[in-house]
């Protein structure tokens, strides 16, 4: 069964460094998403991406964040200058028809 994959599973970085989180969505899906979950808190929406552009973003998704679909298979989330409060589990999701999102296993980001 096709699934969303994410790499790395765990990333440790120092404050102020740039990180890129990578996702491979399900191959025939058209809608792509990033969510995050700070330890002990709710899963929060960050951004949705369709037709090679951002279709919706939350107030969390400020200028420090960017997304890209550099080729036909990968979908990336870049954080330009990480802060301690960016430490969280980041989930990628994809969807074919914009009504059922399939989630990847997540990348745990630890900012020290």
Q: Tell me which residues touch other proteins (CB under 8 A).
A: 31, 33, 35, 41-45, 48, 50, 55-56, 58, 89, 91, 98-106, 108
Pick between residue 18 and residue 56 the one whose CB is nearest to other proteins: 56
What is the rounded CA–CA span in Å between residue 103 and residue 105?
A: 7
Write down the least CB distance from residue 16 to other proteins, Å.
26
Supply φ then ψ for residue 67, to 5 degrees: -130, 155
Cβ-proximal residues to 19 (8 Å cutoff; 6+ apart), any chain: 11, 13, 78, 79, 82, 109
What is the rounded CA–CA span in Å between residue 6 and residue 81?
A: 21
Write down the least CB distance from residue 77 to other proteins, Å.
15
What is the rounded CA–CA span in Å between residue 50 and residue 7?
A: 21
Write down the least CB distance from residue 5 to other proteins, Å.
10
Pick between residue 7 and residue 105 the one whose CB is nearest to other proteins: 105
Pick between residue 5 and residue 112 the one whose CB is nearest to other proteins: 5
């Amino acid at each position: 069964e096709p699934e969303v994959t994410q790499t790395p599973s765990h990333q440790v970085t120092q404050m102020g460094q740039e990180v890129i989180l990578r996702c491979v969505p399900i191959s025939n899906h058209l809608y792509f998403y990033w969510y995050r979950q700070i330890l002990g808190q709710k899963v929060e929406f960050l951004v949705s991406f369709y037709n090679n552009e951002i279709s919706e973003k939350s107030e969390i998704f400020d200028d420090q964040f960017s997304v890209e679909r550099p080729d036909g298979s990968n979908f990336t989330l870049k954080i330009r200058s990480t802060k301690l409060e960016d430490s969280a589990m980041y989930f990628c999701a994809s969807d074919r028809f914009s009504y059922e999102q399939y989630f990847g296993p997540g990348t745990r980001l630890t900012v020290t």
